[in-house]
Amino acid sequence: RRFDYRPKTDPYCQARYTFCPTGSAIPVMKEEDAIEVYRLQAPVWEFKYGDLLGHLKIMHDAVGFKSSLTGKNYTMEWYELFQLGNCTFPHLRPGMDAPFWCNQGAACFYEGIDDAHWKANGTLVLVTTISGTMFNEMAQWVKHDNETGIYYETWTVQASPDKKSTMWFDSYECSKFILRTYQKLADLGAVFKKIQTNYTSIILFSGEPIYLGNETSIFGPQGNKTLAAAIRDFYNPFKPHQSVLEFFVDLFKIIDRVMLNHQFYLFYNLEYWFLPMKSPYLKIIYEEVPLPVGNKSSFGV
């Protein structure tokens, strides 16, 4: 779903690590420039935990560019403004009936490619070469995509692990932005190399979701107080933990509700849904998604 504008962020929402600290505007390239495009991938939080999450195939994706005329490198990625936990689960604030969400994602563009970061435990590989004209058209698309696709969505929700199973909800995170970018470049005429490209998905498995309503219809003055209490109770164990004991107590509650009682409440595009969970409940996959097929008569091979 696309939105008309990006809402202002609430001062309550604070990130442990600043979003896009060295970000800059996307430059206008000369039409005759030949710009190399690189696939970048590394384990999530690689800067802090090294390859730890890489062993679980929890990867972060980005795209790199190198101008042949200037020799300058650039990195473009899309990630959470307030870190993954805030985008995935809400805060239960005193005096507020409705769960409070600190959830936005956005594109970040900055000069330079941190070779060590991407190469150490991940991937830095050339996937295509484009013209300056194509880069500039892509930049205009990025601006529109960034202004209208504003909420981060961690979960993909499917009916079963079968690849042909029904997808109830699709995720909207870093890899989906990169896939959209590649597709836009292909639409503009980029020809991609034939290399294998894999991406991480975190999948919940559920029967057909049940629509519950939005914040007003559930938590407003005329809302459903029983349902409102059930949603708040469900999200309570996902709050930040203060001690090891609290962590294990809350972990047991999560397992009890999701796996034993087959319950999950999903907030998606500003609406609440009930997911009747079923085995295997959750799975992290690292699945191949081929690079798009470009126009053979386009610039660069």
Supply the residues annotated as catalytic.
60, 174
Could you write out the three-class secondary structure of the chain?
CCCCCCCCCCCCCCCCCCCCCCCCCCCCCCCCCEEEEEEEEEECCHHHHCCCHHHHCCEEEEEEEEECCCCCEEEEEEEECCHHHHHHCCECCCCCCCCECCCCEEEEEEECCCHHHHHHHCEEEEEEEEEHHHHHHHHHHHHHHHHHCCCCECEEEECCCCCCCCEEECCECHHHHHHHHHHHHHHCCCCCCCCCCEEEEEEEEECCCEEEEEHHHHHCCCCCHHHHHHHHHHHHHHCCCCCHHHHHHHHHHHHHHHHHCCEEEEEECCEEEEEEEEEEEEEEEEEECCCCCCCCCCCCC
